[in-house]
Amino acid sequence: MKTWTTKSGPTITRVMGGRCNVFLVSHGGRFLLVDTGPAGMWRLLISRLRKLGAEKLDGIVLTHTHFDHAGKAARLREMFGCPVYVHRSEAELLEKGANPVIRGSTPFGSAVAFLASITPKKMLAYAPCATDVTVDERLDLPDFGPNTYILHTPGHTRGSMSVIVGGETALAGDGLVGMFRSTAFPPFAEDSRELVESWGRLLGTGCRIFLPAHGGAKNADELRAEYERRRVAHRAP
């Protein structure tokens, strides 16, 4: 597990990696989980949460509702009785255990998206989960630290969101990836132009560190350089 500490107080710990990074935001004895990972490895997640002192969760934010991010949401909500936050446009999908569109933004991503399109839906399904809080463009989370909030950052999916922690660190979901040195652009995006626009919104938060759901951190200089290149190609503002 790796931890990032913000100057304003909240800490961020990557409690799970592999198929999907799962982050725990801690502040003043309150705990916010960002994404849940797929349905498996339940005992490992609970063990790591307890090791960090999180005997309870005070909220779960889903950056979007693909199965590898929302797979444990229903079970965690039932166990901890905590609210689940999701963007309004994906609340119905979460309540059905269904995935948003999977669309490739690169040749590799397009090939994988095609395979996903012919895969039986039940193989990518996850346990349906109730939505407790729907998010539109922004939702402040003062209980989890100053300048901590959810920001709508569409592109990967229509309802993709990021969590801004302390105004310093962004938990960006699949809005960017950290698996490659040469690029932060994800292989899947429902709307590539909208995704580049969301990079502009993320850079506008003043964050210096961007933690994706897949791979390692990207810094603001890396993201800004690629944003400037891609916004011309995608005609983003």
Average pLDDT, the chain: 92
Lowest mean pLDDT among 85-94, 99-108, 141-150: 99-108
Residues whose CB is less than 8 angstroms from the CB of residue 75 and which lie 6 or more positions away in sequence, other chains included: 42, 127
Backbone angles phi, psi at 172, to 5 degrees: -100, 5
pLDDT tens digits, 181-200: 888 888 888 999 999 999 99
Backbone angles phi, psi at 180, to 5 degrees: -125, 140
Residue 113 scores a pLDDT above 70: no
Quote the radius of gyration of the chain (alpha carbons, Å). Answer: 16
CATH class name, domain 2-233: alpha beta
Kindly indicate the confidence band of residue 179, based on its pLDDT and cuts at 50, 70 and 90: confident
Task: Report yes or no on whether pTM surpasses 0.85.
Answer: yes
